[in-house]
Amino acid sequence: MGSINYKNYPILLVDDDMSSIAPIRHRLEKVFQVDAATSGKEALEKLKMKNYAVILSDQKMEPMDGIELLSRSSREYPDTVRILITGYPDYAASVDATNKAKIYQYVFKSPNIATDIVYVVFQAVDHYWEREERLRLQKMLMRENRLSAIGRLSHALAHEMNNPLSVISNFTQMLPEKYDNPEYRKGFFEHVPESLKRIQAIVSRMSSLTGEEERIEKNPINLHDLIKEASDLFTKDPEAKKIKILKRCENTNPHIKGNPSQLIQVLLNLFTNSAQAVKEGDKGKVEIMTEKDSIILKDREGKESPYIRLIVKDNGPGMDEKILKNIFDPLVSTHITGSTNRRPGLGLFISQLIIEGHHGYIDLQSKVGEGTTVVIELPIFMESSHL
């Protein structure tokens, strides 16, 4: 590829006998920036200090062989492309190594090995560059979508904040002439603080959109612990008395990587929506559960990865297809017949952005008279066993 400056993509060559691969190193250094290591331990130290596009390792080394080295590098440095140099064309061993070390390509030792390796390294760097470029374009698209989303949200904010601001404005204008009126003061101290709380809640829900995705800190967390924390927090909300939350957490590997505050906000949004949909005098029920078995979905890069499925289901009045069609639009509000509240679309829209920022998926299913079900799928954190 003419657009690639190959010198910008360092190569790490690993062999415990450098003299045997001197011709290979010499050929590679004509095109690439090449570093060398004489052991698996030294290679891992170099990987800590520098980002390598490709690591090539001989299979037969002591005490750490090539397969073990590439396996460890695949866990700790998954973006680096891995190539194994081997003198053992054993099919079973190759399959085992591919599964264990996620090897991109094998090079078998032969009289033409130097030529073969140069060709394979070109392919590996092209693969690395293509993946890097795809991620760059995806981030660019996400930023553009984010700007578009903020524009839509500005309009939604103005729309949603209009009512509480009008209440505050009206009471403030009447303050000079009606301050001595007991009924006025009673209404002032009842409605103005409530309107301020509504504005504060709107601004709080918007806080997740104040920065780029890369700036949002994500850490390994247990989704089941997060569900408990969110449901405990919701019990302090005045809306909590309208619903009963039933938890059923069954997944055997509930570890994900995410921002706890954002994900708790998603769950609180869903609990609030369910509570606000409850008709006056009724008692709502919300079931929140994780499926026992993980599922396999394609991630942003098109790779198949394990995901955990979280389901939030209520027994509310449900919604019709017309509303569902645009349910994640920030301006959508659904008037629930018989309920005392409107159900704002802004919370669902923010929830969708948060889940997508965690490389996940969110979907909503509902039928009139049958309640609403929200399905969230989040990638499992594969390093959870090492926490």
pLDDT reading at 343 higher than 80: no
In a domain? residue 191: no
In a domain? residue 244: yes
In a domain? residue 208: no
What length does the chain have?
A: 387
125 and 222 in a single domain? The answer is no
Among candidate residues 72, 82, 74, 76, the one with its CA nearest the CA of residue 103: 82
Please give the Cα distance from 313 to 106 (Å, whole number).
49
- Domain with residue 53: its CATH number is 3.40.50.2300
Predicted confidence (pLDDT) per residue in 135-186, tens digit: 777 666 666 666 666 666 666 666 667 768 888 888 899 888 888 898 888 8
Predicted confidence (pLDDT) per residue in 274-315, tens digit: 888 876 667 789 999 999 888 988 777 677 889 999 999 999
Last residue of a domain, one of 84, 104, 136: 136
In a domain? residue 144: no
Q: What is the pTM of this model?
A: 0.54
95 and 232 in a single domain? The answer is no
Please give the Cα distance from 112 to 93 (Å, whole number).
23
In a domain? residue 165: no
Number of independent structural domains in the chain: 2
12 and 115 in a single domain? The answer is yes
Helix (H, G, I), strand (E, B) or coil at 323: helix
- Give 40's pLDDT tier (boundaries 50, 70, 90): very high
Task: Give mean pLDDT, residues 41-63.
Answer: 92
Chain-centroid distance of CA 147 in Å reads: 19
Measured at the alpha carbon of residue 113, what is the angle toward residues 107 and 117, in degrees to the nearest 5?
A: 60
In a domain? residue 369: yes
Supply the pLDDT for residue 56. Answer: 94
pLDDT reading at 269 higher than 70: yes
Please give the Cα distance from 188 to 86 (Å, whole number).
81
Ordered alpha helix ranges (H), the chain: 22-28, 40-49, 66-76, 91-101, 113-178, 182-206, 223-234, 260-277, 321-324, 346-357
Task: Give mean pLDDT, residues 332-344.
Answer: 48
Q: Phi/psi at 189 (nearest 5 deg)?
A: -75, -10
User: Structural domain of residue 259, as residue ranges?
Assistant: 216-387
In a domain? residue 184: no
228 and 372 in a single domain? The answer is yes
220 and 132 in a single domain? The answer is no
Supply the pLDDT for residue 344. Answer: 47
Q: Which of 11-25, 75-89, 367-381 has the lowest mean pLDDT?
A: 75-89
C-alpha pair distances (Å), 169 with each of 162, 196, 200, 264: 10, 11, 16, 33
Q: How many other C-beta atoms are found inside a 10 Å radius of the C-beta of residue 76?
A: 13
Please give the Cα distance from 306 to 381 (Å, whole number).
9
Computed over every residue of the chain, the mean pLDDT equals 81
Helix (H, G, I), strand (E, B) or coil at 287: strand
Please give the Cα distance from 54 to 257 (Å, whole number).
26
In a domain? residue 61: yes
125 and 229 in a single domain? The answer is no
Last residue of a domain, one of 115, 136, 157: 136
Predicted confidence (pLDDT) per residue in 214-226, tens digit: 456 788 999 999 9
Last residue of a domain, one of 136, 152, 185: 136
8 Å CB contact between 285 and 314: yes
Structural element, H or E, at residue 79: none
371 and 250 in a single domain? The answer is yes
8 Å CB contact between 243 and 283: yes
- Domain with residue 323: its CATH number is 3.30.565.10
pLDDT reading at 51 higher than 50: yes
